[in-house]
Amino acid sequence: MEDLDYQELKKGGMMRQSEKGRFSVRLHVTGGNLTSMAMGIIVHVAERFGSGEIHLTARQGIEIPNISQEDLRKVKNELSSGGVSVGVCGPTIRTITACQGCRICPNGILDAPRLAGVIDQNFYGKPVPHKFKIGISGCTNNCIKAEENDVGIKGAVEPLWDEEFCTHCGICQSVCPVKAIEVDQEKKKVKIRFFQCIYCGDCIQSCPTNSMKEAQRGFLLYAGGKFGRFPSIGKRIGKLFSHDSDLIKAVGASVEFFRLNGKPKERFGGALERVGFDKFEEFMREKLEEGLDEKAA
Amino acid sequence: MKRQLDIRGDVCPGLFVKVRAEMERLRKGEKLEVILKERDLKDVMSTLKIEGYQVPHVSQEGEDYRVTVTK
Ligand code: SF4
Ligand code: SF4
Ligand code: SF4
């Protein structure tokens, strides 16, 4: 019996509590979404084996505290009967967080929870030199705080001006949050300064004549962010990646680079600082061109 | 006669409640002029676009915008 519990504990997700013999059971949640059925079984387990308390963690996770060691196996079985599995801890790829994305949020560009699901299937719980967090914001409003993750993603859209029906009304210039647009009413020209553009799409959403069009939709990738004792902000890697298919490749390249270059107890950002962000950008470019389809081992 | 709606003193979400209520009362072919602050321009314009209204005319006076809307 002791042995079995030990096996369970080693797999992770059972967090030792301050109080001896009690555990807080961490659950596998993806993109901040749970079905009502999953929620039901979680409530049931918390009432039957815990203290009726359910804790929402800082990164969209759920923990059920006050579980006795001898119930861990039963808890795991009950949970899995409702399609809920136990989470991970240690040097692994952690919870993939996501906002509601474009299916729910009118600002959304990416279907963030769906992409979180795809990334989760490919990478969740996989071993890496140190814990590795991934978060996805559906647009550049960035509700999920992409830059505080080891790899953060933001939905983005590149504008393209089409002069045919443009009335030079100036709305796009007024709404641009970084003043990257200049409307010349006399020459009847609209100029977008792409080195300033943050790919938010506000100009496209606001143009009354649909003259600001979408050149392409995709995502921006930020690498090396973290919080904890010494927070650092992730840096943007590359420009705009085209939609979806490149996402798995880009995340795969990040994980692979970390495995090749990282040290235990050093986060991805630390490895990038040490080895060089430029080296990583180069690696990323090569991997995307190679058409690598990383299925993390 | 052109109807007017001044939302310069309003904030979200009350602002949208007002705009929607006014728009619903609008008959086909009728025009509504919305006067708003630049800070609300993006949200108002994108909402009008999503809900399928037409914006045939826009003019700017300093910080204020006058946006003509039709159904
Ligand atoms: S990041 Fe964008 S899409 Fe996601 S919730 Fe925030 S505003 Fe909506
Ligand atoms: S908002 Fe549209 S119509 Fe107005 S100036 Fe910009 S591109 Fe032209
Ligand atoms: S996408 Fe955003 S930042 Fe880029 S030009 Fe349009 S409004 Fe400005």
Domains of chain A: 3-81 (3.30.70.3340), 93-158+218-296 (3.30.413.10)
What is residue A3's predicted lDDT score, i.e. its pLDDT? 55
Question: Distance between CA A119 and CA A113 in Å, rounded?
Answer: 10
Alpha helices, DSSP H only, in B1-71?
14-25, 41-50
A171-185, A271-285, B16-30: least confidently modelled range? B16-30
- Among A78, A114, A89, A75, which Cα is nearest to A10's? A89
Total-model pTM: 0.88
What is residue A176's predicted lDDT score, i.e. its pLDDT? 97
What is residue A291's predicted lDDT score, i.e. its pLDDT? 54
What integer is the mean pLDDT of B52-69? 90
Q: Which ligand is nearest to the CA of A183?
A: 2
ipTM comes to 0.88
Dump pLDDT digits (tens) for A216-251.
Answer: 999 999 999 999 999 999 999 988 988 677 889 999
Q: Is the CB of A143 under 6 A from ligand 1?
A: yes
What integer is the mean pLDDT of A26-36? 96
What integer is the mean pLDDT of A240-268? 92
Chain B residues with CB inside 8 Å of A202's CB? Answer: 42, 46
To probe the interface with B, which of A174, A209, A212, A214 has the most B CB atoms within 10 Å? Answer: A174
Q: How confident is the model at residue A9 (pLDDT cuts 50, 70, 90)?
A: confident
What is residue A295's predicted lDDT score, i.e. its pLDDT? 46
| Amino acid (one-letter) located at A297 | A
Dump pLDDT digits (tens) for A130-169.
Answer: 999 999 999 999 999 999 999 999 999 999 999 999 999 9
What is residue A296's predicted lDDT score, i.e. its pLDDT? 44
Question: Distance between CA A212 and CA A173 in Å, rounded?
Answer: 11
What integer is the mean pLDDT of B21-38? 90
Q: How confident is the model at residue B63 (pLDDT cuts 50, 70, 90)?
A: confident
**Mean pLDDT over all residues of chain A?**
93
Question: Distance between CA A97 and CA A260 in Å, rounded?
Answer: 25
The neighbour count for residue A166, using CB atoms within 10 Å, is 19
Q: What are phi and psi of A92, to 5 degrees?
A: -140, 175
Q: How confident is the model at residue A1 (pLDDT cuts 50, 70, 90)?
A: very low
Q: Which residues of A touch B (CB under 8 A)?
A: 106, 167, 169-171, 174-175, 202, 205-208
Chain A residues with CB inside 8 Å of B49's CB? Answer: 205-206, 208
What is residue A232's predicted lDDT score, i.e. its pLDDT? 96
What is residue B13's predicted lDDT score, i.e. its pLDDT? 82
Q: Which of B41, B48, B56 sits opposite A174 (nearest CB)?
A: B41
What residues does A63 pair with on adjacent strands? A26, A55
Q: Retrieve residue A29's tokens.
A: 């949640």
pLDDT at A88 over 90: yes
A172-176, A244-248, A273-277: least confidently modelled range? A244-248
Domains and CATH numbers, chain B: 2-70 (3.30.110.40)
What integer is the mean pLDDT of B13-20? 86
Q: Is the CB of A168 under 6 A from ligand 2?
A: yes
What integer is the mean pLDDT of B19-40? 90
pLDDT at A293 over 90: no
